[in-house]
Structure 1
Amino acid sequence: MSFTSKRILNYFFKGLLFVAPLALTAYIIWQIVLFLDNLLPVPIPGLGILIVFGMITFIGYLANIFITRPIFELVERWLFRIPLVNILYTSIKDLMSAFVGDKKKFNTPAIVKLSENMSRLGFITQDNLAMIGEDEMVAVYLPHSYNFSGNCFLVPRDNVRILHGANSTEVMKFIVSGGVSELSDPKK
């Protein structure tokens, strides 16, 4: 292969490295916007998504008002009584509240010692496991690389070191990217 063709191939791969993630990100965002906009069959583009966001915000407002809060709690208690719906609803609600609720769970990054020479990054999700008789254990979520799934392990408290000053979002990005993303120095 000649010098010029190697250079052109190198330019192509550098361009691909820039364009592919940008295009894929734009495509995924566009598909999410289209999906949300098409939830309501409104002939004006963009109006459907505005109505959906407005309705969700209004329901959130109603759920916070003293007068209507008991109605939401009653509906929730009713959902808890339905066997399959209970599991599905509580799992989805717990997952959503881990990211956006008052009880965010992925805000305590930690290093978990797996063996003498090996550790993994994760997030402490439960600091107190007394309810299952494991006072010396904590629950740690270990996300998979290049995937948003993960595993929750119960590990001895002594094997977990909290990363004070570490940015939770950057640690999650670092883990999900397989360690490819850069971590910034918390002292800067």
Structure 2
Amino acid sequence: MMRLRNYFLTGIVVTAPVAITAYLVWGFIGWVDGWVKPLIPHAYNPDNYLPFTIPGFGLVVAIVLLTLVGFLTANFIGRAVIRLGEYVLGQMPLVRSVYRGLKQIFETVLSGKSNTFKHVGLIEYPRKGVWSIVFLSTDVEGEISDTLMDKAGKMTAVFLPTTPNPTSGFLLYVPKSDIINLSMTVEEGAKLVISAGLVSPEFQARTKALDHTTDPIVKPEQE
């Protein structure tokens, strides 16, 4: 029974990540198809001619259209159209704030010049003596830096993720001196948060391996 139990658990460990990944990918493809396929003209939609649907066709069309939009935006006419559209959106009180915020976020995340979330650190939160993992964003600038410089010195913006969903969390402004930098990558830190501390980075395994190799050799007792 113990051997059967181990086989069963091994099967779960092997198949569960593959099944969950396939489920998420399939769900994403279906979500994109559900948005794009209704916009495709009837004459160009293969689902209207075939006895079965083609999953992922809407995703392919979306990728082609986005690439085409990027190509058109790169020339003079495209930039003029974008400026006109941004001007129109800028006249709408609520919409302009949402648009500018989203545009700045996407430009920051997708640009190669951004240093967003490239480091992992520890801060004392929510009280002294309790430590939390944070993702370091960037040094604080502008009004917040001006306001807090005299009180707390150089500040850093950090993102404190929640468990088990690291996409939600809190934005905190922390003095640089209060942050302990870690050598683990952001991906390893995200795994640690998602698993609630069950999946530790490889650094600990290497440390333990070194500890075992440096254990003193115990000599057998002499007769």
Q: TM-score, length-normalised on structure 2?
A: 0.66
Is the 2:115–2:138 Cα contact (8 Å) retained in structure 1? no
Check 1:86–1:26 CA distance in 2 against 1; reply closer, same or farther (3 A cut): same
Check 1:92–1:10 CA distance in 2 against 1; reply closer, same or farther (3 A cut): farther
Q: Is the deviation greater in 25-34 or in 46-55? A: 46-55
Cα deviation code 1:99-132 (max 9, x no counterpart): 4234352223222233553322212223123422
Q: Give the partner amino acid of 2:117.
A: F
2:217 maps to none
Check 1:21–1:68 CA distance in 2 against 1; reply closer, same or farther (3 A cut): same
Instruction: Measure the CA separation in 2 of the matches of 1:177 and 1:97.
Output: 30
Check 1:173–1:99 CA distance in 2 against 1; reply closer, same or farther (3 A cut): farther
1:134 maps to 148
Instruction: Measure the CA separation in 2 of the matches of 1:65 and 1:181.
Output: 48
Deviation at 1:15, TM superposition (A): 1.8
Instruction: Measure the CA separation in 2 of the matches of 1:112 and 1:64.
Output: 43
Instruction: Measure the CA separation in 2 of the matches of 1:120 and 1:150.
Output: 12
Matched, 1:110 2:113: no
Deviation at 1:54, TM superposition (A): 0.9
Deviation at 1:48, TM superposition (A): 2.3
Deviation at 1:70, TM superposition (A): 4.0
Is the 1:111–1:119 Cα contact (8 Å) retained in structure 2? yes
Check 1:18–1:110 CA distance in 2 against 1; reply closer, same or farther (3 A cut): same
Matched, 1:35 2:31: yes
Matched, 1:149 2:149: no
Cα deviation code 1:128-153 (max 9, x no counterpart): 23422223322110111211211111
Instruction: Measure the CA separation in 2 of the matches of 1:180 and 1:94.
Output: 35
How do 1:1-188 and structure 2 match up within 5 A?
4=1, 6-38=2-34, 39-41=36-38, 42-43=45-46, 45=54, 46-102=56-112, 103=114, 105-114=116-125, 115-132=127-144, 133-135=147-149, 136=153, 137-147=155-165, 148-163=167-182, 166-185=184-203
Q: TM-score, length-normalised on structure 1?
A: 0.77
* Number of residues of Structure 1 aligned to a counterpart in Structure 2: 181
Is the 1:129–1:139 Cα contact (8 Å) retained in structure 2? no
Is the 2:134–2:161 Cα contact (8 Å) retained in structure 1? yes
**What SS does the aligned partner of 1:19 have?**
helix
- Which consecutive unaligned segments of at least 5 residues does structure 1 have? none
Q: Which has the larger Rg?
A: 2
Check 1:51–1:120 CA distance in 2 against 1; reply closer, same or farther (3 A cut): same
Q: CA RMSD in A?
A: 2.8
Q: Give the partner amino acid of 2:175.
A: P
Q: Is the deviation greater in 90-99 or in 176-185? A: 90-99
Check 1:77–1:40 CA distance in 2 against 1; reply closer, same or farther (3 A cut): same
Is the 1:109–1:123 Cα contact (8 Å) retained in structure 2? yes
Instruction: Measure the CA separation in 2 of the matches of 1:101 and 1:77.
Output: 23
Instruction: Measure the CA separation in 2 of the matches of 1:82 and 1:15.
Output: 56
Q: Is the deviation greater in 54-63 or in 40-49? A: 40-49
Q: Give the partner amino acid of 2:195.
A: S
